[in-house]
Amino acid sequence: MNIDHPPLVRTKPPVEKHQAAVLAARLFNLHITDLSFVKELNSYDDRNFYMRGSLNGQRECQEYVLKIINDVESRHEYFLELQCNIMLFLQTRGYNCSSPVLSILKTHLVRCKIPRKHRAGILHAEPGHVSVVTDKDTNGISLENGTSTLSVTSLRNIVDGIEIYDGEEYSEDEFLVCAVLLLNFVPGKLLNEIPLNTQLLFNAGVAVGSMDRDLKDFAGEELKRPEFSWDLSNVDEKIEPCLEAVTDPHHVEIVREVCEAFRKNVKPKLHLLPKQIIHGDPNYTNLVFAPRNKHCSQYPVQDIGVIDFGDLNYSCTVFEIAISLMYILNLEGVLKCGRTQMAGHFFAGYSSVHPLSSVELEVLPVLVASRFCQSLVFGAYVSKLVDPGNEYILETAKNGWENLEEFWKTPKEEVLQLWMEMSENTRQNQDEL
């Protein structure tokens, strides 16, 4: 992809740990008593900061994530609000998922103007804590006990030149405008951090399938994102221009084969595939396992949480399970049954609550391979030309090319037959209970 092909070009907000803590305090009245707990989390193109604190003077200390969204996605405020509403909707359905906290402006999102270059010294947090106590020396504003109501124009210079954006024109060479929100933290371990077993993989599939089943009830065709780089609908058109960043000719050849299979076997059937809102990225770093029984290794479905709703999209439902299966096939830990059967257990769980149509089944293997290519090629491009220091971007590439090749050389009919047989065996066993 060239510089004139911009969908992947994002500017990661230039916000540091101490600035994030002050933003949480000033915008969300979060009282942070120990800055040593504030830490930055992995992210592709946003900034995410884990922190502990109490809201509005409450005594109970809880866990949160301050999310500062990249400048490109922040332009779509309506979509970001929908994202928040969907998190709240899933929470009402009993899902353990991220959910937004209201800001001092009584909104979930606060758009902030952030200097591209660090400006120190406008407001300093004390070394050990950040509080919402009175700070009349900066703006004559009191945030004590969460009692203040602030207008957009009254809060300037939150920290180091960062301020609430007032809608006025600004220099894009000097500033970014980014949406800031505070999310409740979902505690637990990620799927790639826990010992795997077949029941766990099955339950993870049930969790994602249940979420998709319930998301059908949220009307959201306005969440169509035709230019969204990570939508599989036009994966071939998006990734082939990026191949300049892939240095191994054999890898390039595999990607071109997958793109051709997508054009031949998937594109002509896209109009036949059911559509709805999907999470868009239910991978092993976005499924959180928090057992209520510490001695249980099976992780019941209700103990599986979901995070990171930034890729929400109104698109083909089958894309969801294709994305999940790709990441199951790319897990570092491998059970004795092998990767394809590991994915089969996830598939069986998903299908038990959200069965796929015959057309969806036909296109599934190529979609799985397409997601492999998408993640690997985008990762190579962004790492090389956009954000070279971000190791998280290359997470898939650790084993991805090898696992893609292994999956791609296995006959698609054989893979699909195995997964369908595993799903059918599960259904029969459930019927016998």
- State the residue for tokens 């057309």: 359
In the chain, pLDDT over 70 holds for what percent of residues? Answer: 86
Residue 157 or residue 111, greater confidence:
111
In the chain, pLDDT over 90 holds for what percent of residues? Answer: 69
Domain containing residue 378: CATH number: 3.90.1200.10
Q: Is the dihedral of CA 156, 159, 160, 164 positive or negative?
A: negative
- Domain end, chosen from 146, 169, 184, is at 184
Note whether 195 and 104 are same-domain residues.
Answer: no
Interval 111-119 mean pLDDT: 86
- State the residue for tokens 């606060």: 110
Predicted local distance difference test score (pLDDT) of residue 121: 46
Interval 102-115 mean pLDDT: 95
Predicted local distance difference test score (pLDDT) of residue 311: 94
Q: Let me know: does 68 contact 15? Beta carbons within 8 Å.
A: yes
Tell me which long-range contacts 332-340 makes (C-beta under 8 A, separation of at least 24).
Answer: 332/192, 332/398, 332/399, 333/192, 333/195, 333/196, 335/196, 335/197, 335/198, 337/198, 339/403, 339/406, 339/407, 340/407, 340/410, 340/415, 340/418
Predicted local distance difference test score (pLDDT) of residue 111: 96
Res. 136 pLDDT band, cuts 50 70 90: very low
53-64 in b/e form (b: 16+ CB < 10 A) is bbbeeeeeeeeb
Considering the domain boundaries, does residue 381 fall inside one?
Answer: yes
Res. 431 pLDDT band, cuts 50 70 90: low
**φ, ψ of residue 19 in degrees (nearest 5):** -70, -40
Return the amino acid letter for 426. T
* Residues in Cβ contact with 302 at an 8 Å cutoff, skipping those fewer than 6 apart: 94, 96
Considering the domain boundaries, does residue 215 fall inside one?
Answer: yes
pLDDT for residue 45 is more than 90: no
* Residues in Cβ contact with 247 at an 8 Å cutoff, skipping those fewer than 6 apart: 380
- State the residue for tokens 């038990």: 352
Residue 115 domain boundaries: 17-119+154-184
Predicted local distance difference test score (pLDDT) of residue 155: 60
Measured between alpha carbons, how far is residue 206 from residues 57, 142, 298, 354 in Å? Answer: 39, 48, 13, 8
Interval 29-57 mean pLDDT: 91
Considering the domain boundaries, does residue 8 fall inside one?
Answer: no
Considering the domain boundaries, does residue 130 fall inside one?
Answer: no
Note whether 89 and 231 are same-domain residues.
Answer: no
pLDDT for residue 329 is more than 70: yes
Cα(166)–Cα(33) distance, integer angstroms: 30
Question: What is the total count of domains within the chain?
Answer: 2
Predicted local distance difference test score (pLDDT) of residue 350: 98
Residue 151 or residue 395, greater confidence:
395
Interval 239-267 mean pLDDT: 97
Res. 6 pLDDT band, cuts 50 70 90: very low
pLDDT in tens, 271-296: 999 999 999 999 999 999 987 766 66
Predicted local distance difference test score (pLDDT) of residue 143: 35
Considering the domain boundaries, does residue 372 fall inside one?
Answer: yes
Cα(397)–Cα(379) distance, integer angstroms: 8
pLDDT for residue 1 is more than 50: no
Note whether 377 and 394 are same-domain residues.
Answer: yes
252-283 in b/e form (b: 16+ CB < 10 A) is eebbeebbebbeeebeeeeeebebbbbbbbbb
pLDDT for residue 95 is more than 50: yes
Residue 390 or residue 360, greater confidence:
360
Predicted local distance difference test score (pLDDT) of residue 256: 98
Predicted local distance difference test score (pLDDT) of residue 367: 98
Note whether 257 and 174 are same-domain residues.
Answer: no
pLDDT for residue 139 is more than 60: no
- State the residue for tokens 């180091």: 160
pLDDT for residue 135 is more than 80: no
Predicted local distance difference test score (pLDDT) of residue 227: 81
Residue 429 or residue 260, greater confidence:
260
Considering the domain boundaries, does residue 134 fall inside one?
Answer: no
pLDDT in tens, 383-423: 888 878 777 788 888 999 999 999 999 999 999 999 999 99
Predicted local distance difference test score (pLDDT) of residue 430: 65
Residue 113 or residue 390, greater confidence:
113
pLDDT for residue 265 is more than 50: yes
* Residues in Cβ contact with 152 at an 8 Å cutoff, skipping those fewer than 6 apart: 105, 164, 165, 166, 167
Note whether 203 and 179 are same-domain residues.
Answer: no
Q: Let me know: does 95 contact 305? Beta carbons within 8 Å.
A: yes
Question: Considering only 40-54, 112-126, 293-307, 384-398, which range has the smallest mean pLDDT?
Answer: 112-126
Q: Is the dihedral of CA 210, 372, 97, 220 positive or negative?
A: negative
Torsion angle, alpha carbons of 146, 185, 392, 85, to 10 = -80
Note whether 334 and 246 are same-domain residues.
Answer: yes
Cα(425)–Cα(249) distance, integer angstroms: 41
Note whether 169 and 203 are same-domain residues.
Answer: no
Cα(42)–Cα(48) distance, integer angstroms: 7
pLDDT for residue 30 is more than 90: yes
pLDDT for residue 331 is more than 60: yes
Retrieve residue 411's tokens: 């006959």
Predicted local distance difference test score (pLDDT) of residue 357: 97
Q: How many CB atoms lie within 10 A of CB 225?
A: 17
Considering the domain boundaries, does residue 202 fall inside one?
Answer: yes
Note whether 170 and 241 are same-domain residues.
Answer: no
Q: How many CB atoms lie within 10 A of CB 2?
A: 9
Predicted local distance difference test score (pLDDT) of residue 219: 79
pTM of the model: 0.88
* Residues in Cβ contact with 45 at an 8 Å cutoff, skipping those fewer than 6 apart: 10, 12, 70, 73, 382, 387
Interval 178-183 mean pLDDT: 97
Considering the domain boundaries, does residue 39 fall inside one?
Answer: yes
